[in-house]
Amino acid sequence: MKSLDEYLADAKQAHGHLCAGQVLGVRMAMLGLEKLGINDPLCNKEDRKRLVTFVEIDRCATDAIGVVTGCRLGKRALKFRDWGKMAATFVDVSTGKAIRIAAKESSKQVARAMHPELSEKNQQQMLAYLEMDENDLFTTQWVKVELPAEEFPGYKGDRIVCAHCGEGINFRREVQRDGRVFCRSCAGESYYKPV
């Protein structure tokens, strides 16, 4: 596994800047891998295939978590749950072990107390998050994550065609209604509206 400084450099390059969220994400991912006993998913193909990560926010930390874990949406190893929380769950699919790690809200106040000489909040937090003990920075909880077959990386399932729009649907994301198969958009779950 790389050092904290090496991961931070990689995260800065991937994200475009270094900020407090990047520091949290790198430390969170390193802790998750350590707790699961996964050494280096970026260099070890077997470690990479063992790991699925759920992120709960679409902010800077998520990019950093991807840098450390190698989990990507396109590889189906990074799962996004839009809960607005600075948290992630790391799942070892080979053992079923999973750990959820969340940043403590109190860490922001601790950062202000640790570095009152810095007037900029992000600078206070970046420096403090590098220095803080993991127990002061995060809560950890062993959890159980049920992953159906279609959620695993490499899953190859049937492709279904929507009865309304004709678009293909993968990974059992279709909706059955009145004996017909629809995509979620045609079933009324759309995030967009045609103009």
User: Domain with 79 in it: what CATH number?
Assistant: 3.30.1330.130
Question: Is 71 found in the same domain as 32?
Answer: yes
User: pLDDT at position 74, please?
Assistant: 85
Question: Is 132 found in the same domain as 65?
Answer: yes
Task: Please check whether residue 74 lies inside any domain of the structure.
Answer: yes
Question: Is 81 found in the same domain as 59?
Answer: yes
Task: Please check whether residue 169 lies inside any domain of the structure.
Answer: yes
Rounded to whole angstroms, the Cα distance separating 159 from 116 reads 57
Question: Is 99 found in the same domain as 182?
Answer: no
Question: Is 175 found in the same domain as 139?
Answer: no
User: pLDDT at position 21, please?
Assistant: 95
The reported pTM is 0.87
Question: Is 180 found in the same domain as 121?
Answer: no
H helix runs in 90-154, sequence order: 107-114, 121-131, 134-137
Q: How many CB atoms lie within 10 A of CB 169?
A: 21
Question: Is 115 found in the same domain as 85?
Answer: yes
Task: Please check whether residue 14 lies inside any domain of the structure.
Answer: yes
Question: Is 72 found in the same domain as 139?
Answer: yes
Task: Please check whether residue 38 lies inside any domain of the structure.
Answer: yes
Task: Please check whether residue 195 lies inside any domain of the structure.
Answer: no
User: pLDDT at position 95, please?
Assistant: 94
Question: Is 141 found in the same domain as 164?
Answer: no
Q: Which residues contact 151 (CB under 8 A, 6 or more apart)?
A: 52, 76, 79, 171
Structural domain that includes position 21: 4-147
Task: Please check whether residue 73 lies inside any domain of the structure.
Answer: yes
Please give the chain's pLDDT, 195 residues, in tens: 899 999 999 999 999 999 999 999 999 999 999 999 998 887 777 767 889 999 999 999 999 999 999 999 988 899 999 999 999 999 999 999 999 999 999 999 999 999 999 999 999 999 999 999 999 999 999 999 998 877 877 777 788 999 999 999 988 889 999 999 999 999 998 888 888
Rounded to whole angstroms, the Cα distance separating 37 from 99 reads 11
Question: Is 161 found in the same domain as 65?
Answer: no
Task: Please check whether residue 194 lies inside any domain of the structure.
Answer: no
Domain count, the chain: 2
Contact 107, 137 (CB under 8 A): yes
User: pLDDT at position 109, please?
Assistant: 93
Task: Please check whether residue 152 lies inside any domain of the structure.
Answer: no
Question: Is 55 found in the same domain as 35?
Answer: yes
User: pLDDT at position 47, please?
Assistant: 67
Question: Is 107 found in the same domain as 133?
Answer: yes
